[in-house]
Amino acid sequence: MLRCEAPVYRPRTLTDAIYARADMPDATVIAGGTDVMVYLESGSLKPTRFLDLWDCSGLRWQQFITGGQFCGAGLTCTDAIRSPQTHPLVREACSTVGAVQIQNRATIGGNICNSSPAGDTLPVWLALDAEFELASMRGRRRVPAASFWKGYKQIDLRPDELLVGVLLPQTTGETHFRKVGTRMAQSISKVIFAGRYRRGVEARLAFGAVGPTPMRCREAEAALVAGRPVDEVVALVEAEITPIDDVRSTADYRRKVAGNIVRRWLASL
């Protein structure tokens, strides 16, 4: 059985959580705990204390706002799957996380802050031009998803800050999500793709698990908007991503699959 003596502080409101974070920048923030528990079990995490956001009411909601939508960081994948307000791309990504037991605990904020390049929701935030809202005693700031993941497991989050939620602007265009893993459930991604395309206007081709951070293929996006041939767009995708060989797959396989996903999606349009 997993034992840990570190004390747990469990705020009930967002204000309390922000105060607590300022007092305890050393604490390990825990939301659903599905990543944190794995680190604890493996011994890679040595917590001094925990700031547990699970009961923090101000984080677990979503609503439409002027010009878009706000999704609280404490929304679980199950919340997102069940809510009629959820953007289809977000729902699809949340549906592929782990299995039902994991989805019941895993939060979107945890997926974003854990910042695994293989996090299933991450390319979705890039494809939707999301901004992340971060709060501390000093105030709030918004960081575009495109600049939040700074390097492998490095994020633009200061020690006294919490991720409060995600702002999704109103967007247009066809969208597509695809996760390639070994199985349908409980499978860590080999390649994840989220795309959005409005012919002649804008394109987002966002990938996960093909580099140290989730990424957009900006040259391929520009070629697509300019009406360049699909072969050229696919070649740019394959050139822009930086996959590696690891226990789950090879770089060659990932590159080929990434290109195929884009080719098939564009053909279907």
Ligand X SMILES: Cc1cc2nc3c(=O)[nH]c(=O)nc-3n(C[C@H](O)[C@H](O)[C@H](O)COP(=O)(O)OP(=O)(O)OC[C@H]3O[C@@H](n4cnc5c(N)ncnc54)[C@H](O)[C@@H]3O)c2cc1C
Q: Pick between residue 100 and residue 222 the one whose CB is nearest to ligand X.
A: 100
Q: Is 213 in the site for ligand X (CB under 6 A)?
A: no
3-class state of residue 194 by DSSP: strand
Measured in residues, the chain has a length of 269
Q: Is 33 in the site for ligand X (CB under 6 A)?
A: yes
> Could you tell me the two tokens for 209?
């698990």
Among residues 114, 136, 175, 213, which is the contact residue for ligand X, using CB under 6 A? Answer: 114
Q: Which residue's C-beta sits nearest to ligand X?
A: 110
Choices 113-121, 166-174, 225-233, 248-256 (CB under 6 A): range interacting with ligand X: 113-121
- Name the strand (E) or helix (H) holding 69: strand 68-72
Q: Pick between residue 59 and residue 220 the one whose CB is nearest to ligand X.
A: 59
Q: Pick between residue 18 and residue 220 the one whose CB is nearest to ligand X.
A: 18
Q: Pick between residue 53 and residue 261 the one whose CB is nearest to ligand X.
A: 53
User: Which amino acid is residue 1, in one-letter code?
Assistant: M
What is the C-alpha to C-alpha distance for residues 190 and 226, in angstroms, rounded to an integer? 29
Among residues 117, 119, 123, 195, which is the contact residue for ligand X, using CB under 6 A? Answer: 119
Q: Pick between residue 3 and residue 183 the one whose CB is nearest to ligand X.
A: 183
Choices 83-91, 93-101, 123-131, 139-147 (CB under 6 A): range interacting with ligand X: 93-101
Closest CA to 14 of 52, 57, 50, 51: 57
Choices 23-31, 199-207, 223-231, 255-263 (CB under 6 A): range interacting with ligand X: 23-31
- Here's the x/- map for ligand X, 53-82, by CB under 6 A: it reads as x-------------------x---------
Closest CA to 79 of 143, 36, 31, 122: 31
Q: CA–CA distance from 95 to each of 50, 80, 120, 122, 185 (Å)?
A: 28, 9, 9, 14, 9
Q: Pick between residue 35 and residue 129 the one whose CB is nearest to ligand X.
A: 35
Among residues 31, 130, 166, 167, which is the contact residue for ligand X, using CB under 6 A? Answer: 31
Among residues 32, 72, 243, 259, which is the contact residue for ligand X, using CB under 6 A? Answer: 32
> Could you tell me the two tokens for 178?
């695809």
Give the helix ranges, DSSP H, for 96-229: 100-105, 108-114, 122-127, 145-148, 218-225
State the nearest-atom distance from the C-beta of 261 to ligand X, in Å: 17
What is the C-alpha to C-alpha distance for residues 19 and 23, in angstroms, rounded to an integer? 6
Burial class from Cβ neighbours inside 10 Å (0-12, 13-18, 19+) for residue 65 reads: exposed
Among residues 14, 18, 20, 34, which is the contact residue for ligand X, using CB under 6 A? Answer: 34
What is the C-alpha to C-alpha distance for residues 60 and 37, in angstroms, rounded to an integer? 21
Q: Pick between residue 157 and residue 266 the one whose CB is nearest to ligand X.
A: 157
**Interacting residue ranges for ligand X, rule: CB under 6 A:** 28-36, 38, 53, 73, 96-98, 102, 105-107, 109-111, 113-114, 119-120, 162-163, 186
